[in-house]
Chain A
Amino acid sequence: MRRLALILAVIFYPLMALAVGVDEARLSDPALEARARELMKELRCLVCQNQSIDESDADLAKDLRHIVRERIVAGDSDAAVRRFLVDRYGDWVLLDPPMNARMMVLWLAPLGLVVVAATTLIVVLRRRRREAAAPLTAEEEKRLQAILNATDEEAKRP
């Protein structure tokens, strides 16, 4: 029984992390608070890196949540809050960074690889088929016959 409780505790422990971000001073205006929470979900925690600051328990994430709420109360638009953080930490801080030249490389590289691989495959297969289909020249035919005759002779020998 105690073991079961322990297992359940371990399984559900990560869910407790979801409560982070609500433990602090929330904004009294629920509409503003909702906007702040939505923004927090888009902002990447710089310490844990694969969590948003809404999910993260890191100290810095807590400070950034505080900043997000503060900016919203100050009347900033969502874009202005994002800009405030991008200004300090770069596009890196956005979980969904904007498309730019460097991002295009990232998105298009796999496509490029597929195109290169497919072209290579087609070229190789075509060449192979062409080589296989080429008929023997008269010279080759003669040599082949000679070889076949020779083996026949050998087979007949006791």
Chain B
Amino acid sequence: MRLKSLLPLLIFLGLAAVLWVGLGLKPREVPTVMIGRAVPEFDLPPLDGRTQGLASAALRVPGVKIVNVFASWCVPCRVEHPQLSALKNLPGIALYGINYKDNVADARAFLDGLGDPFAAIGYDRSGRVSIDWGVYGVPETYVVDGDGKIVYRHVGPISDDDLKTKFTPLIERLREGA
């Protein structure tokens, strides 16, 4: 009898919990299938005027690598720029960029204006390499472990909060494991 009188409350709490979780979901975010996979094979040329492009070999060396897909025409890429600079300064991190379907002059103006946080940038003019990564918008950020496996993907700009709650703990865990 006691349980029965509590039933409506229990149903309400259950429903509230389900809806609460639902509020935090991102239905527009395409789930990635790349987690746990080796980075795709690619060899991208540098942006004109630079010497170093980006190839998959650079992502297979030991250590934590972060690959940020960006473009100068992408507003959220500007928004996340301070966070990328902070990521670059974490110890033992190599931050790489894939420049997605950009105009070379615009890309260089973007990097000259805001600062270039990347150790090297691959110029993905056609966007084909990004498609091999499963990229469907910019910015997207991938974390690659010491074995050259993709361990995390972040869609959209990296906020300060993302940096603290997602990237930093993950990177620390990877470094301890390595």
Contact = CB atoms under 8 A, between A and B. Distances in A.
Contacts of A49: 28
A60 B32 contact: no
Interface residues of A, number: 14
Nearest to A89: B134
A64 B31 contact: no
B88 to A, nearest CB: 28
A90 interface: yes
Interface residues of B, number: 16
A88 B137 contact: no
Contact of A47 (B33, B132, B137): B137
B33 A87 contact: yes
Interface string A44-76: 001101000000000110011001000000000
B31 A90 contact: yes
A65 to B, nearest CB: 12
Interface in A22-52: 46-47, 49
- Most A-side CB within 10 Å, residue of B28, B131, B137: B131
A86 B119 CA distance: 31
B33 A59 contact: no
A63 B34 CA distance: 20
A89 B33 contact: yes
B41 to A, nearest CB: 13
Interface of A: 46-47, 49, 59-60, 63-64, 67, 86-90, 92
29 contacts: A46-B30, A46-B136, A47-B136, A47-B137, A49-B28, A59-B101, A59-B127, A60-B131, A60-B136, A60-B137, A63-B126, A63-B127, A63-B128, A63-B131, A64-B131, A67-B128, A67-B131, A86-B33, A87-B33, A88-B33, A88-B131, A88-B132, A88-B133, A89-B136, A90-B31, A90-B32, A90-B33, A90-B134, A92-B30
